[in-house]
Structure formats: C-alpha cells, structure tokens
Structure 1
Amino acid sequence: MQALGTGGRMGATMRILMIVATAGLLVSCNVSGFFTSYGDDPAWVDPDAKKADAGGGDQAGGPGKAVYGRICASCHLGNGKGVPANNIPPLAGSEFAQGDPTVPIRIVLHGFRGPIVRGGANINGQMAAWQDQLSDQDIADVLTYVRSSFGNSGAAITADEVKEVREKTASRVVPFTEADLQQPL
C-alpha cells in the first residue's frame, strides 16, 4: 500500500483537498472583511489643534492651511507643536514665527539648522530649504497661516515681502542658524 500523499490517486486527491481548503479559508476570511479595502487610512485629527488656534487661522486658513497641510504638518504636526524629541521645533508660540517677518521667510526659503533651545528642549535638527518648490505666494500664504494659528499672533506676510527677501538672499547656499537670523537682512 502506498503512503498517504506520495503519489498516485491518493496524492492527487490530497492536493485537490488542500487547494479547496485553502480557497475556502481565503473566501471565509474575505467574508469577515479581511481582504476588504476601506479606502485611504483616515487622517489623524488632533483634538487639541483647534484649542491651540487663538488667531482664527485654523477656521479661515485658506490656501496657507492647505500648503501647511501638504508641506509642513508632516514634521511640525497639524497642531504646530512639532516633535522636540526628534529635533523638530514647535511653531506654536514660536518667537521666529511671530517676530520679524523676514526671519520665517528666510527659514522657509533657505532652511534652518540647529542647535536651538525651545521649551527647555535642545533641538539640533535641520529643516530643508523650500525656495525651489514654493512660490512667493505659497510662502506668504503658509507663513500668514502659521503666524495666525496655534496661538500665534503675527501679522500677515505678502508675496512682495517674500520676493524681496528672496532677492536679497539669492546667493545663500547654506541653511540659516539662529545666529545668522539675529543679523538684520
């Protein structure tokens, strides 16, 4: 007598039985939703984000909010708190964001590199330059959004202001440091 599954009629029967059992398992898993696609994963909505927004920017963010969501939120988060433990400073309450408008313009155009201390955390990261990816209007929109969101209260920035800073810093090839930004434009 042949051993079970070693060829012949019994082996063919076992192979068919295994195929049917596997197909049955896959179908039963799908019935319970295992292979069902529910579309894109839902976006994380931070319940504190609207609370942190005292400037109305979150409700009326317009194009700046869209640019922020597309470019900035992946690092600085939707609530502007950043991730200091990962060397990403907060924008909420940021002196850079709310003060001299040429400072955040320079940072977005040419990038930034630490070290800096924010909220008691030593941050030694580097932000990419966006001068080649964002228009003057995009930069004005996103910075106006940041300056009026997350509890910040800076004035709006115009595309003309961005254009002027872009022209004055056109020869810059390295990211700004905190010491660089303390120098007048």
Structure 2
Amino acid sequence: MDGNVQTYKGRLVAKGFRKVHGIDYDETFPPVAMFKSIRIMLAIVAFHDYQIWQMDVKTAFLNGKLEEDVYMTQPKGFVISDNAGKVCKLQRSIYGLKQASLSWNLRFNDAIKQFGFIRNEDEPCVYKKISGSIVSFLILYVDDILLRGNGIPTLQSVKTWLSNCFL
C-alpha cells in the first residue's frame, strides 16, 4: 500500500516466441470444453439439485511432461560460473512454451482415467464416472475444472486425489 514490496515472486518463463514450428514443437492446441457442454451440465445440475464444485489448477502448465527435447539457457541470476556455457534440458513444461497447454491436457487425461473416469467421445474435455447410484461428471476448461455429482464424499475424494496428483 505504501509502495514497499512485501513479497518477491520468481517465475521461470520460456521464450516461446523463439521456438520454430516443426523443429521445437509439432502440435500446440489442446481440446477445450465447448460452452454448450458447460451450459448443459449446469442445466442438469440445476434440474437434479446436484452439487457443483469449481477448481482452478494454479500450476497446471508446470505439470505437463514434454515429449520433445527442449533446452534453454541458464536463467539470469542462476548461472553457475563453472558451467556458464551449458544449457538446461527441461523435463517438464514451463510457462511460455507453446506446447505447455497441450502437455498439461495429456497429463490430466492420463491421470483422471487412472481414477476411473471415462472420457466422452464427442466432447474430449468431459469425463464421467458412474458407480451404482453415484454419478460424477468432470469438465476441463484449460486449467479450470467443473466437478459435479450427487455424492459429496465421492466429489471430495476426487478433489483430494486431484490435489495430491497435481501439487
């Protein structure tokens, strides 16, 4: 409030504008849920009086695993004098990479399937899980998740599992 900085945040961001299509990456765009799917899901929730929870994955793009070899120079302030001429090989995606959102989407898809959700064939960002009378649906929109269902303990277990999976 008085102009003094109280916290410092360091962020490592790739210079994605320097990447060349076909050399550094191939595909960049992940599927996203259509607005009509979200509206239909909200109508179902309202009609059946289901629970709906919204989650935001703050470190979504840091969870993607890279399929390509991506190298970057050592960031300023981190250069080790003995290895000044060396570069870093990225194991996971970081903000600024053109393929970061796609790699996050692929990682999320693999993880949510392990929990027992089934991906919708017509809408690749809508997942369902049915266990007896308990019905759960999940919609992924980039790094936001809409989770709805009729069993609060089930929704809580999904939320806990996702938070443990994507810390």
TM-score bin, normalised by smaller chain: under 0.3
Task: From the CA coordinates, give the structure whose radius of gyration is larger.
Answer: 1
Specify which structure has the higher proportion of helix: 1
Higher relative contact order (CA 8 A, sep 6+): 2
Normalized per residue, which structure has more strand? 2
TM-score by length of 1: 0.23
